[in-house]
Structure 1
């Protein structure tokens, strides 16, 4: 009988990318793979590229830390999601569940625990998110990306594995990226991306400083859903809502990157040796995890950081000039750091297989 694994995680691409890195390897090993996500979340779209994966959409609610009238109804959606996940898991009986976090993962982890199924969680950020905090008591193992994160999870469950980076990102071709954007090699390429949901303040800063930036860079701008500005049509500037298949080529041609500071993304830039200007989500808009991620990388000399509260046109433009000036020293630190890295993907796969065997 084939072994079975269920993946879960969603709400943003950051809660899906590690799953996407692991799924092809389990399929290659002959495992049956299912993915439990939300009915309309981005995870459904991303997993659709894997026809061998069975997708199950469940009800989910957002776990907000602030007052919102939807906090009254969302617990009912979570309860419905728990029932849906419990029922599917009880019938399908996977050997192990792997959770990447996000609100949709909580009902899945709890449904797995009710079915006495082993659960492995992966936490990318330096501090666990609320969904993972709720899920940890019902898990067997918690894999973390940052060594310092081990102090924030139960000692008996925590395992430091490092960052899981998608193999396909390493296969990009610079020439293909230049052709896709109609760029030449006359100027360095600046890649701007704010995550799958976009980053409005970064988008606005780029567009306001665009004339000055274009004097020094060709710019590819991944804006986020519904954030492309069709009124801007200038040579050397390409906009996209979101890219998937072309992303490895765009990364291959990029000389510098501007990004939020989600852990998956910044570790991917590190693995690909892309000097980055990080503009983390502010504490007003988040729990501050991206600020901690960015500060950790900055202390190691792996990036420059510009806080959103300090984001003005002048500071943004100056920060990019400083990044370009210090590009070679950052690249050297990245090379040194990459030499220390272990194979996180292989470690997580081994943990999942061992956990499945102990079921």
Structure 2
């Protein structure tokens, strides 16, 4: 199989793509993969490190408000579609897979104009602008949340879950939390606000840190590099506590998460795919700054199933974080019920399902 994969801008689009590629290469060692992204997106750093062939196109996203910048965006879209077509013709793929982000628009659209089968994958419960646009051109549509299927044509939409679920479920790395000087005998709470961090979560953590000291559970916190420097004095003061570890960024987040007992985080689709694949109860703080408030919808899906509690960004405080953590840890029945609900939400064969959708396009 020769496949072009595209998607970028954030880890939420890139990591599911890489997870699927990893699975594809395991079961089809001869598969040839080309990844198309942008120079400025996160994919430009992550994809080459994964040892994949990587090409870039010059494209930018539309502004949601009326802006003169959108005129430039339209011209760039036309130019980038032509760039994408040239790359596609040179590589001659059997199929093209898009995992979201504005970079995937000219690639999927260009492939459809060249009569090459295409699949798009929507991770969130509410589709973004790019996938809504591409849905009319894609051969098949895969969704990570059942709710997202309501936004696409029924006849070509398939529920697959998120490929990160299958990838992270296979991880077993007990030594990961030992690297933080943490005990394997204590409950571990993992807290983070995304790869770049979140100001409101950092502010709440500054309030919470003195109260975490001496607890019978341990806390690992990733602040984001920008915020670590902003709150460095406070973080370094409490980082020496035996039950608290604070880092700006955790490189092996998947391994650390596989050892966590509770997750406190934003409600990005990839994070939720990971936490449910592991059956971890979660306390979700949806970002109010994302398109169509999709993180709230993502979080509500898990809350409805009983797998998560929600703290809104507006009501977030250090005391609220501690109260919800201890509410779960102090109630064994609640913890077990949330864990069971979480694992029920996980889709542990998501890459298998996505490959089946791709193979249907190739039949």
TM-score, normalised on structure 2?
0.89
Task: Name the residue aligned to 1:47.
Answer: 47
Pairwise CA distance, 1:148: 2.7
| 1:21-170 equivalences in 2 (<5 Å) | 21-28=19-26, 29=28, 30-51=30-51, 53-67=52-66, 70-164=69-163, 165-168=165-168, 170=170
Report if aligned partners of 1:169, 1:248 keep a CA contact under 8 Å in 2.
no
Relative to 1, partners in 2 of residues 1:354 and 1:75: Cα closer, same or farther, differing over 3 Å? same
Of 241, 250, 258 in structure 2, the residue corresponding to residue 243 of structure 1 is: 250
The CA distance in 2 between the partners of 1:301 and 1:151, in whole Å, is 22
Pairwise CA distance, 1:86: 1.3
Pairwise CA distance, 1:337: 5.9
The CA distance in 1 between the partners of 2:80 and 2:209, in whole Å, is 45
The CA distance in 1 between the partners of 2:148 and 2:204, in whole Å, is 33
Relative to 1, partners in 2 of residues 1:46 and 1:181: Cα closer, same or farther, differing over 3 Å? same
Are residues 1:352 and 2:350 paired? no
Pairwise CA distance, 1:212: 0.6
Report if aligned partners of 1:13, 1:195 keep a CA contact under 8 Å in 2.
no
Pairwise CA distance, 1:169: 5.2
Pairwise CA distance, 1:265: 1.0
Deviations 1:125-151 (A, max 9, x none): 111111111111110111112223222
Report if aligned partners of 2:275, 2:342 keep a CA contact under 8 Å in 1.
no
Aligned length: 351
TM-score, normalised on structure 1?
0.90
Task: Name the residue aligned to 1:276.
Answer: 282
Relative to 1, partners in 2 of residues 1:202 and 1:70: Cα closer, same or farther, differing over 3 Å? farther
SS of corresponding position for 2:264: strand
Relative to 1, partners in 2 of residues 1:194 and 1:147: Cα closer, same or farther, differing over 3 Å? same
Pairwise CA distance, 1:319: 2.5
Which stretch of structure 1 is more off in the superposition, 322-331 or 96-105?
322-331
Task: Name the residue aligned to 2:13.
Answer: 15
Which stretch of structure 1 is more off in the superposition, 318-327 or 345-354?
318-327
The CA distance in 1 between the partners of 2:332 and 2:8, in whole Å, is 34
Report if aligned partners of 2:279, 2:340 keep a CA contact under 8 Å in 1.
yes
Pairwise CA distance, 1:298: 0.6
Pairwise CA distance, 1:339: 5.4
| 1:147-226 equivalences in 2 (<5 Å) | 147-164=146-163, 165-168=165-168, 170-174=170-174, 176-185=175-184, 187-216=186-215, 217-226=217-226
Report if aligned partners of 2:263, 2:283 keep a CA contact under 8 Å in 1.
yes
SS of corresponding position for 1:162: coil
Pairwise CA distance, 1:289: 0.7
Are residues 1:288 and 2:293 paired? yes
Deviations 1:262-301 (A, max 9, x none): 122112101112111000011x553111101111111111
The CA distance in 2 between the partners of 1:296 and 1:192, in whole Å, is 20
Of 309, 312, 316 in structure 2, the residue corresponding to residue 307 of structure 1 is: 312
CA-based RMSD: 2.2
Report if aligned partners of 1:9, 1:102 keep a CA contact under 8 Å in 2.
yes
Relative to 1, partners in 2 of residues 1:326 and 1:42: Cα closer, same or farther, differing over 3 Å? farther
